[in-house]
Amino acid sequence: MSLVRSVCLFITFLSYLAISVHGQATARPGAGSGTRVGFYSTTCPTAETIVRNAVTAGFNSNPRIAPGILRMHFHDCFVLGCDGSILISGANTEQTARSNVNLRGFDIIDNAKTQLEAACPGVVSCADILALAARDSVVLTRGISWQVPTGRRDGRVSLASNANNLPGAGDSVAVQQQKFSDVRLSTRELVVLVGGHTIGQAGCGAFRNRLYNSTTGPADPTIDPTLLAQLQTQCPQNGDASVRVDLDTGSGTTFDTSYYNNLGRGRGVLQSDQVLWSDPATRPIVQQLMSPRSTFNAEFARAMVRMSNIGVLTGANGEIRRVCSAVN
């Protein structure tokens, strides 16, 4: 083999190696692979039942844990992928980020994990428990069920600084589109997944600027006057910012399409929700999802499966935590 040909082959190999390394570095934000329905069918056949029973018990005690767990799963997946890193507690972890301080339902996940460790030690990941619990939370609020692919492993990194770019209450449609695109979710999946706000709540501090300090006047003129008066009563100008309000007025505990109908009537509580109606890029999608022949439930299930596979760790990556709040 000539020297020139040997050098060319070596350069080709280095180029391939660089591409491979780059691919590994950027893989986490994308849709994961390696999960499958029934992953624990032989290693822990009662896994889904144990999780479902734990979530049901928590829900019967406090129905508001359902939106809390759904939101927790969402926030987990948007930060380094669905790896259960939101469950790790401690100083400067994701839990301490401003957007996560009001998350609820950690005790439900911990309860499920304790039972699973007793039944199948070291088998079921915390990331999978959270994905299953999110599905069960939707079912308990009269939403659709779906098969959850499992096989995720748990991440070891949880930093508050990584949670600074989560979708926010004041985001425009363009900003929301970019954040969803960053994890390879479409605009339609954005509108469908945000429909989870049908059972959601927010603290007064997340939207009080719309009630009193709008840049267009004393209050945001896009808010329905009846809703405005109601929200001003619930959230006085100098009142407690942590008081929580339903995001789907009149149907806040049922998983349905009422959320989209409210947007069409100017009754979106968060700015980021109401702009889905005012922006021409998303309004047609909202109109389809609020129609009598809406496919919202089926689309939500598909979008949840897609989201739950963002940047998952599988195989030899990550770990199976013995306790969800701490790395092994």
Known binding residue 85? Answer is: yes
Q: In degrees, to the nearest 5, what angle opens at C-alpha 249 toward C-alphas 244 and 250?
A: 120
The answer to whether the beta carbons of residues 202 and 252 sit under 8 Å apart is no
Q: Label each residue of the chain as H, E or C.
A: CCHHHHHHHHHHHHHHHHHHHHHHHCCCCCECCCCECCCCCCCCCCHHHHHHHHHHHHHHHCCCHHHHHHHHHHHHHCCCCCCCHHHCCCCCCHHHCHHHCCCCCHHHHHHHHHHHHHHCCCCCCHHHHHHHHHHHHHHHCCCCCCCCCECCEECCCCCHHHHCCCCCCCCCHHHHHHHHHHCCCCHHHHHHHHHHHHHCEEEHHHCHHHHHCCCCCCCCCCCCHHHHHHHHHHCCCCCCCCCEEECCCCCCCCCCCHHHHHHHCCCCCCHHHHHHHHCCCCHHHHHHHCCCCCCHHHHHHHHHHHHCCECCECCCCCECCCECCECC
183 is in an annotated binding site: no
Task: Answer yes or no: is 41 a known binding residue.
Answer: no
* 29 appears as a binding residue in the annotation: no
Q: Is 294 annotated as a binding residue?
A: no
Is 251 annotated in a binding site? The answer is no
Task: Tell whether residue 248 is among the known ligand binding residues.
Answer: yes
Residues 6+ positions from 170 with CB-CB distance below 8 Å: 209, 270, 271, 272
CA–CA gap between residue 138 and residue 165 (Å, rounded): 25
In the annotation, is 22 catalytic? Answer: no
Residue 136 is encoded by which pair of tokens? 């069960």
Question: Is 243 a known ligand-binding residue?
Answer: no
The annotation status of 107 as a binding-site residue, yes or no, is: no
User: Of 71, 73, 75, 321, which residue is the catalytic one?
Assistant: 75
The reply, when asked if residue 171 is annotated as ligand binding, is: no
22 belongs to an annotated ligand binding site: no
Binding site feature residues: 76, 79, 81, 83, 85, 94, 167, 197-198, 248, 256
| Binding-site residue positions for heme b | 197
Q: Which residues are annotated as a binding site for substrate?
A: 167
Binding residues for Ca(2+): 76, 79, 81, 83, 85, 94, 198, 248, 256
Q: Which residues are marked as active site?
A: 75
